[in-house]
Amino acid sequence: MAKNWLITGASSGLGRGLAERLLERGDGVVATIRKSGALDDLLTRYRDRLQVTGCDVTDVAAIRETVAQAFERMGRIDVVVSNAAYGLFGAAEELTDTQIERQIATNLTGSIQVIRAAIPYLRNQGGGRIVQVSSEGGQVAYPAFNLYHATKWGIEGFVESVAKEVAAFGIDFLIVEPGPTRTNFGAGLDHATPMSCYDDTPAGEIRRAIATGYFAHFGDARKTVDAMIAAIDSPNPPFRLPLGRSAYDSIREALLGRLKVLESQKDVALSVME
Protein backbone atom coordinates (compact mmCIF):
# COMPACT_ATOMS: atom_id res chain seq x y z
CA MET A 1 0.00 0.00 0.00
CA ALA A 2 1.33 3.44 -0.94
CA LYS A 3 2.30 5.77 1.89
CA ASN A 4 2.37 9.52 2.28
CA TRP A 5 5.54 11.16 3.58
CA LEU A 6 6.64 14.58 4.80
CA ILE A 7 10.40 15.09 4.43
CA THR A 8 12.26 18.19 5.56
CA GLY A 9 15.60 19.13 4.03
CA ALA A 10 14.90 17.39 0.73
CA SER A 11 16.96 19.69 -1.51
CA SER A 12 19.93 17.34 -1.61
CA GLY A 13 21.72 14.47 0.08
CA LEU A 14 19.80 11.75 1.88
CA GLY A 15 16.61 13.84 1.96
CA ARG A 16 16.49 14.13 -1.82
CA GLY A 17 17.55 10.52 -2.26
CA LEU A 18 14.76 9.39 0.04
CA ALA A 19 12.15 11.47 -1.81
CA GLU A 20 13.30 10.16 -5.18
CA ARG A 21 13.19 6.48 -4.15
CA LEU A 22 9.76 6.85 -2.56
CA LEU A 23 8.33 8.56 -5.63
CA GLU A 24 9.80 5.84 -7.86
CA ARG A 25 7.87 3.20 -5.96
CA GLY A 26 4.57 5.12 -6.04
CA ASP A 27 4.35 6.89 -2.68
CA GLY A 28 3.22 10.47 -2.09
CA VAL A 29 5.73 13.00 -0.80
CA VAL A 30 5.60 16.50 0.62
CA ALA A 31 9.18 17.76 0.44
CA THR A 32 10.49 20.92 2.05
CA ILE A 33 13.46 22.74 0.54
CA ARG A 34 15.44 25.92 1.13
CA LYS A 35 16.91 26.21 -2.36
CA SER A 36 14.25 27.15 -4.90
CA GLY A 37 14.12 24.84 -7.91
CA ALA A 38 16.10 22.05 -6.24
CA LEU A 39 13.42 19.47 -7.01
CA ASP A 40 12.13 20.77 -10.35
CA ASP A 41 13.25 17.62 -12.15
CA LEU A 42 11.26 15.46 -9.76
CA LEU A 43 8.23 17.73 -10.07
CA THR A 44 8.29 17.25 -13.83
CA ARG A 45 8.15 13.47 -13.42
CA TYR A 46 5.93 13.15 -10.36
CA ARG A 47 3.74 16.24 -10.25
CA ASP A 48 0.70 14.19 -9.25
CA ARG A 49 2.41 12.74 -6.15
CA LEU A 50 4.97 15.36 -5.13
CA GLN A 51 4.31 18.58 -3.28
CA VAL A 52 7.29 20.91 -2.85
CA THR A 53 7.31 23.78 -0.41
CA GLY A 54 9.93 26.20 0.82
CA CYS A 55 10.61 26.03 4.53
CA ASP A 56 13.43 27.28 6.72
CA VAL A 57 13.36 25.16 9.87
CA THR A 58 14.76 28.07 11.88
CA ASP A 59 11.37 29.77 11.32
CA VAL A 60 8.95 28.16 13.79
CA ALA A 61 5.86 29.79 12.27
CA ALA A 62 6.87 28.49 8.84
CA ILE A 63 7.29 24.97 10.24
CA ARG A 64 3.81 24.97 11.71
CA GLU A 65 2.26 26.29 8.53
CA THR A 66 4.15 23.78 6.38
CA VAL A 67 3.13 20.83 8.54
CA ALA A 68 -0.50 21.95 8.66
CA GLN A 69 -0.65 22.36 4.89
CA ALA A 70 1.02 18.99 4.33
CA PHE A 71 -1.60 17.13 6.34
CA GLU A 72 -4.39 19.14 4.73
CA ARG A 73 -3.18 18.37 1.20
CA MET A 74 -2.42 14.70 1.74
CA GLY A 75 -5.27 13.86 4.07
CA ARG A 76 -3.02 11.51 5.99
CA ILE A 77 0.74 11.40 6.43
CA ASP A 78 2.17 8.06 7.48
CA VAL A 79 5.79 9.08 8.01
CA VAL A 80 7.35 12.40 8.99
CA VAL A 81 11.09 12.58 8.32
CA SER A 82 12.95 15.33 10.18
CA ASN A 83 16.08 15.58 8.05
CA ALA A 84 16.98 19.27 7.64
CA ALA A 85 20.42 19.93 9.11
CA TYR A 86 23.94 21.05 8.36
CA GLY A 87 27.39 20.75 9.90
CA LEU A 88 29.48 23.34 11.71
CA PHE A 89 33.23 22.74 12.01
CA GLY A 90 35.66 24.48 14.32
CA ALA A 91 37.22 24.35 17.76
CA ALA A 92 34.88 25.78 20.38
CA GLU A 93 36.72 29.07 20.79
CA GLU A 94 36.98 29.54 17.01
CA LEU A 95 33.21 29.61 16.55
CA THR A 96 31.25 32.84 16.39
CA ASP A 97 28.08 33.41 18.37
CA THR A 98 26.15 33.64 15.08
CA GLN A 99 27.46 30.26 13.93
CA ILE A 100 26.53 28.67 17.25
CA GLU A 101 23.03 30.13 17.18
CA ARG A 102 22.45 28.99 13.59
CA GLN A 103 23.64 25.44 14.32
CA ILE A 104 21.36 25.07 17.33
CA ALA A 105 18.41 26.74 15.59
CA THR A 106 18.67 24.44 12.57
CA ASN A 107 19.70 21.04 13.91
CA LEU A 108 18.20 21.08 17.39
CA THR A 109 15.44 23.64 17.76
CA GLY A 110 14.27 23.16 14.16
CA SER A 111 14.04 19.38 14.56
CA ILE A 112 12.25 19.77 17.88
CA GLN A 113 9.69 22.10 16.34
CA VAL A 114 9.07 19.83 13.33
CA ILE A 115 8.32 16.97 15.70
CA ARG A 116 6.14 19.11 17.96
CA ALA A 117 4.18 20.43 14.99
CA ALA A 118 3.54 16.94 13.62
CA ILE A 119 2.46 15.20 16.82
CA PRO A 120 -1.11 16.64 17.09
CA TYR A 121 -1.91 15.60 13.50
CA LEU A 122 -0.46 12.12 13.94
CA ARG A 123 -2.33 11.73 17.23
CA ASN A 124 -5.62 12.84 15.68
CA GLN A 125 -5.26 10.42 12.76
CA GLY A 126 -4.56 7.51 15.10
CA GLY A 127 -0.79 7.23 14.80
CA GLY A 128 2.18 7.40 12.50
CA ARG A 129 5.95 7.23 12.45
CA ILE A 130 8.50 10.00 12.98
CA VAL A 131 12.01 9.50 11.64
CA GLN A 132 14.75 11.70 13.04
CA VAL A 133 17.86 11.72 10.88
CA SER A 134 20.75 12.06 13.29
CA SER A 135 24.30 10.81 12.75
CA GLU A 136 26.91 8.58 14.31
CA GLY A 137 27.75 11.99 15.78
CA GLY A 138 24.68 11.61 17.99
CA GLN A 139 26.46 8.84 19.89
CA VAL A 140 30.15 9.69 19.53
CA ALA A 141 32.18 12.92 19.43
CA TYR A 142 35.12 14.14 17.34
CA PRO A 143 37.26 17.24 17.86
CA ALA A 144 36.03 20.43 16.19
CA PHE A 145 32.50 19.16 15.59
CA ASN A 146 31.47 20.19 19.10
CA LEU A 147 28.32 22.18 18.26
CA TYR A 148 27.23 19.63 15.66
CA HIS A 149 27.53 16.92 18.32
CA ALA A 150 25.71 19.07 20.84
CA THR A 151 22.71 19.29 18.52
CA LYS A 152 22.73 15.63 17.50
CA TRP A 153 23.15 14.34 21.05
CA GLY A 154 20.46 16.82 22.09
CA ILE A 155 17.88 15.76 19.52
CA GLU A 156 18.42 12.11 20.32
CA GLY A 157 17.72 12.80 24.00
CA PHE A 158 14.61 14.76 23.06
CA VAL A 159 13.33 11.92 20.86
CA GLU A 160 13.97 9.30 23.55
CA SER A 161 11.78 11.24 25.95
CA VAL A 162 9.01 12.14 23.49
CA ALA A 163 8.79 8.56 22.22
CA LYS A 164 7.68 7.52 25.70
CA GLU A 165 5.13 10.33 25.84
CA VAL A 166 3.33 9.52 22.58
CA ALA A 167 3.59 5.73 22.26
CA ALA A 168 0.06 5.38 23.66
CA PHE A 169 -1.25 7.34 20.64
CA GLY A 170 0.25 4.91 18.12
CA ILE A 171 3.15 7.25 17.30
CA ASP A 172 6.61 5.72 17.18
CA PHE A 173 10.10 6.94 16.35
CA LEU A 174 13.17 5.81 14.47
CA ILE A 175 16.52 7.57 14.88
CA VAL A 176 18.78 7.10 11.85
CA GLU A 177 22.52 7.38 12.54
CA PRO A 178 24.53 7.34 9.30
CA GLY A 179 28.30 7.50 9.30
CA PRO A 180 30.21 9.42 6.61
CA THR A 181 28.24 8.98 3.39
CA ARG A 182 28.96 10.11 -0.16
CA THR A 183 26.57 13.04 -0.28
CA ASN A 184 27.23 16.78 -0.56
CA PHE A 185 27.27 17.20 3.25
CA GLY A 186 30.88 18.33 3.16
CA ALA A 187 30.14 21.01 0.59
CA GLY A 188 27.65 22.58 2.97
CA LEU A 189 29.95 22.44 6.00
CA ASP A 190 30.27 25.78 7.76
CA HIS A 191 33.88 26.42 8.80
CA ALA A 192 35.02 28.66 11.61
CA THR A 193 38.03 30.88 11.00
CA PRO A 194 40.95 28.72 12.15
CA MET A 195 43.32 29.73 14.92
CA SER A 196 46.93 28.66 14.41
CA CYS A 197 47.24 27.42 17.99
CA TYR A 198 45.09 24.44 16.99
CA ASP A 199 47.24 23.42 14.01
CA ASP A 200 49.07 20.68 15.91
CA THR A 201 46.06 19.37 17.83
CA PRO A 202 43.44 16.76 16.93
CA ALA A 203 41.23 19.61 15.70
CA GLY A 204 43.95 20.62 13.27
CA GLU A 205 44.38 17.04 12.09
CA ILE A 206 40.70 16.76 11.24
CA ARG A 207 40.77 20.17 9.56
CA ARG A 208 43.53 18.95 7.25
CA ALA A 209 41.65 15.72 6.55
CA ILE A 210 38.60 17.69 5.49
CA ALA A 211 40.71 20.02 3.32
CA THR A 212 42.27 17.07 1.47
CA GLY A 213 38.94 15.31 1.03
CA TYR A 214 40.05 12.22 2.92
CA PHE A 215 37.69 10.24 5.11
CA ALA A 216 37.76 6.48 5.44
CA HIS A 217 34.80 4.12 5.21
CA PHE A 218 32.33 6.15 3.18
CA GLY A 219 28.83 4.73 2.93
CA ASP A 220 26.97 4.53 -0.37
CA ALA A 221 24.13 7.07 -0.42
CA ARG A 222 21.71 4.90 -2.41
CA LYS A 223 22.29 1.86 -0.18
CA THR A 224 21.87 4.09 2.86
CA VAL A 225 18.52 5.36 1.60
CA ASP A 226 17.38 1.82 0.78
CA ALA A 227 18.29 0.66 4.30
CA MET A 228 16.40 3.60 5.78
CA ILE A 229 13.27 2.78 3.77
CA ALA A 230 13.44 -0.90 4.68
CA ALA A 231 13.62 -0.04 8.39
CA ILE A 232 10.86 2.57 8.18
CA ASP A 233 8.60 0.13 6.33
CA SER A 234 9.14 -2.51 9.00
CA PRO A 235 6.22 -2.99 11.40
CA ASN A 236 8.69 -3.04 14.30
CA PRO A 237 11.77 -0.99 13.37
CA PRO A 238 14.72 -0.58 15.71
CA PHE A 239 14.68 2.59 17.76
CA ARG A 240 18.15 3.45 16.46
CA LEU A 241 19.56 2.54 13.06
CA PRO A 242 23.33 2.94 12.61
CA LEU A 243 24.33 2.90 8.93
CA GLY A 244 27.84 2.32 7.64
CA ARG A 245 31.01 0.69 8.96
CA SER A 246 32.17 3.88 10.62
CA ALA A 247 28.84 4.29 12.42
CA TYR A 248 28.76 0.72 13.68
CA ASP A 249 32.41 0.58 14.77
CA SER A 250 32.51 4.06 16.30
CA ILE A 251 29.23 3.76 18.20
CA ARG A 252 30.10 0.29 19.46
CA GLU A 253 33.48 1.45 20.72
CA ALA A 254 31.96 4.50 22.40
CA LEU A 255 29.21 2.50 24.13
CA LEU A 256 31.60 -0.18 25.36
CA GLY A 257 33.93 2.54 26.65
CA ARG A 258 31.13 4.28 28.54
CA LEU A 259 29.93 0.97 29.99
CA LYS A 260 33.45 0.16 31.19
CA VAL A 261 33.71 3.54 32.92
CA LEU A 262 30.26 3.10 34.47
CA GLU A 263 31.08 -0.33 35.87
CA SER A 264 34.33 0.96 37.34
CA GLN A 265 32.37 3.56 39.29
CA LYS A 266 29.71 1.22 40.69
CA ASP A 267 31.05 1.23 44.25
CA VAL A 268 31.31 5.04 44.29
CA ALA A 269 27.82 5.42 42.83
CA LEU A 270 26.25 3.18 45.45
CA SER A 271 28.26 4.68 48.29
CA VAL A 272 26.13 7.83 48.37
CA MET A 273 22.89 5.96 49.08
CA GLU A 274 21.19 6.48 52.45
pLDDT tens, residue by residue, 204-259: 999 998 888 765 557 899 999 999 999 999 999 999 999 999 999 999 999 999 99
- Residue 212: per-residue pLDDT: 80
- Residue 181: per-residue pLDDT: 77
Question: Which residue in 12, 46, 82, 152 is the catalytic one?
Answer: 152
Containing structural domain, residue 239: 4-271
**Structural domains in the chain (count):** 1
Report the CATH number that the domain containing residue 238 is assigned in CATH. Answer: 3.40.50.720
pLDDT tens, residue by residue, 100-150: 999 999 999 999 999 999 999 999 999 999 999 999 999 999 999 999 999
Residue 184 confidence (pLDDT) above 80: no
Question: Which residue in 46, 121, 148, 198 is the catalytic one?
Answer: 148
pTM of the model: 0.94
Confirm whether 134 is a catalytic residue. Answer: yes
Tell the burial category of 83 from Cβ atoms under 10 Å away from its Cβ (0-12, 13-18, 19+): buried
Confirm whether 223 is a catalytic residue. Answer: no
The alpha helices in 234-264, defined as continuous H runs, are 245-264
Question: Which residue in 12, 82, 111, 134 is the catalytic one?
Answer: 134
- The single-letter DSSP state of residue 181 is B
pLDDT tens, residue by residue, 23-70: 999 999 999 998 889 999 999 999 999 999 999 999 999 999 999 999
User: At 7, is the secondary structure helix, strand, or coil?
Assistant: strand
pLDDT tens, residue by residue, 197-209: 999 999 999 999 8
